[in-house]
Amino acid sequence: MILLLAVLAGLLVGLCLAYGCNRPYKAPDLKAIWLVGIAFLPQLIIAYMPATRKLLNDGFASLSLLVSLALFFIFTWLNRRLPGMPVLMIGLLLNLVVIVANGGWMPISTYTASLLTGKDVLQFMNLGGRFGEKDILLLAQNTRLEFLADRFLLPAWLPYKVAFSLGDVLISLGVFWLLVRPAIKLDSMNTKGAVI
């Protein structure tokens, strides 16, 4: 969800900047964009499709999540010279490290989970079991690298509730800058004859 918000915000700001300067918006020139689709496919199958999610055991699902993140990292590496990509890569690495450190799932504490579901629902969930699409429910003291876990929440006034990690924040900032920078870059070339 936070990534989707970053994409929408980046496109909106980029389009507005381009429109304000009376020129077309030029999207970033991404190499191997097809890798994004392949990388997202395992997450779609293991997390977002209820039928397949129930058919696959947790071990296979966890391995699929790691493969997905590795493919996303390859994509960012191939595009590392583009604005925002270094920040995005750091975010991916942080997520990958905390997931590997906690058995192949993104950890979420019982406290953070209770803010999403309420304590009444949480009491029926098992510690060490899957929570949501890609998380594992753990006590904070039993979580390795807990500061990298899904521990942040969207503002309460937003209707959608979701927890996200420091890595997710960096990924979103990288995506936002990737989409906004072309408009700033073009504007700076037109007005100053130099690239920011």
Q: Among all chains, which residue has been given the structure tokens 């496109």?
A: 11
Q: Is residue 115 part of a domain?
A: no
Q: How far apart are CA 49 and CA 79, in angstroms?
A: 30
DSSP track, 93-115: HHHHHHHHHTTTSEEEEHHHHHH
Would strands 135-138 and 130-131 be described as parallel, antiparallel, or unpaired?
antiparallel
Q: Helices 166-192 and 2-20 meet at what angle, rounded to 10?
A: 10
Within a domain: residue 114?
Answer: no
In a domain, 57, yes or no: yes
DSSP 33-91: THHHHHHHHHHIIIII-HHHHHHS-HHHHHHHHHHHHHHHHHHHHHTTTSTTHHHHHHH
Asked whether residue 58 is domain-assigned, the answer is yes
In a domain, 174, yes or no: yes
Would 109 be classed as within a structural domain? no
Highest mean pLDDT among 45-59, 76-90, 155-169: 76-90
Q: Quick one: tokens of 123?
A: 């009491």
Q: What is the pTM of this model?
A: 0.85
What are 66-87's pLDDT values in tens digits? 999 999 999 999 999 999 999 9
Q: How many domains does the chain have?
A: 1
Query: Cα-flanking dihedrals φ and ψ of residue 131, to 5°?
Result: -130, 125
100-147 tens-digit pLDDT: 999 999 999 989 988 888 776 666 777 888 887 788 899 989 999 999
> Does residue 133 form part of some domain?
no
Question: How far is the C-alpha of 141 from the C-alpha of 135, rounded, in Å?
Answer: 16
